[in-house]
């Protein structure tokens, strides 16, 4: 059998391999990562190490064949009795320690939000009679005190009930197409 070079990690002795096999069993994936490769190298190089690993594998198979015994109810009761119980005061202190900063942050956020937001004012529409509307835009703008001819671009149409249904914007001169207010004759 050809000898190979040992990996550049801490070497594992036959005694240390015995400790690993006793503690973790024969399955190499259960061994510590820091010693796994060195232990595999030792098993590949030494017949005594292979024999020791085979003995551990036989023991693993025997242990796996044994039926697992359910823990007794008295054991569960002893474990629960030995577990430390939380003191009620600590729970409230922890909750209070978490709630105070959250409440402070919420208060600051609400204060900042109310300081920097302008107050919204709703414009109340004055009551108008149906006869006062002369075009569809009057219905939208007049209740808020806006004059349709002063605020909406005009293309030179006359006062009509439906706006400018027969006027093409291309027919008006360029300077008058998008002028504000009424076009002068």
Given a cut of 70, the residues of the chain with pLDDT beneath it are 1-9, 88-89, 115-185
Query: What is the number of structural domains in the chain?
Result: 2
Paired tokens of 39: 């232990």
Task: Tell me how far apart the alpha carbons of residues 103 and 106 are, in angstroms, rounded to a whole number.
Answer: 5
Does any domain span residue 75?
no
Q: What is the structure's pLDDT at 96? A: 85
Does any domain span residue 22?
yes
Q: State the Cα angle at 146 between 145 and 148, rounded to 5°.
A: 145
What are the phi and psi torsion angles at 183 (to 5°)?
-75, 140
Does any domain span residue 78?
no
Does any domain span residue 20?
yes
Domain boundary among 6, 40, 64: 64
Task: Tell me how far apart the alpha carbons of residues 21 and 30 are, in angstroms, rounded to a whole number.
Answer: 10
Domain boundary among 64, 83, 99: 64
Does any domain span residue 25?
yes
Residues 179, 152 contacting (CB under 8 angstroms): no
Which residue carries 């208060």 as its tokens? 107
Give the global pTM: 0.37
Does any domain span residue 111?
no
Does any domain span residue 74?
no
**Domain that residue 25 falls in:** 14-64
Q: What is the structure's pLDDT at 121? A: 59
Does any domain span residue 44?
yes
């Amino acid at each position: 059998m050809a000898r190979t070079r040992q990996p550049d990690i801490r070497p594992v002795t036959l005694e240390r391999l015995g400790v690993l096999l006793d503690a973790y069993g024969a399955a190499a994936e259960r061994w510590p990562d820091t010693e796994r490769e060195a232990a595999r190298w030792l098993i590949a190089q030494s017949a005594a190490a292979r024999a020791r690993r085979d003995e551990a594998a036989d023991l693993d198979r025997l242990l796996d064949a044994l039926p697992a015994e359910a823990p007794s109810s008295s054991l569960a009761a002893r474990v629960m009795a030995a577990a430390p119980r939380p003191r009620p005061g600590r729970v409230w202190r922890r909750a209070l320690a978490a709630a105070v900063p959250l409440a402070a942050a919420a208060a600051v956020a609400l204060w900042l939000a109310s300081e920097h937001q302008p107050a919204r004012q709703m414009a109340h529409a004055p009551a108008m009679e149906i006869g006062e509307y002369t075009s569809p835009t009057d219905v939208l703008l007049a209740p808020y005190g806006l004059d349709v001819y002063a605020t909406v671009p005009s293309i030179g149409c006359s006062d009509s009930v439906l706006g400018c249904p027969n006027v093409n914007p291309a027919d008006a001169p360029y300077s008058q197409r998008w002028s504000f207010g009424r076009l002068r004759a």
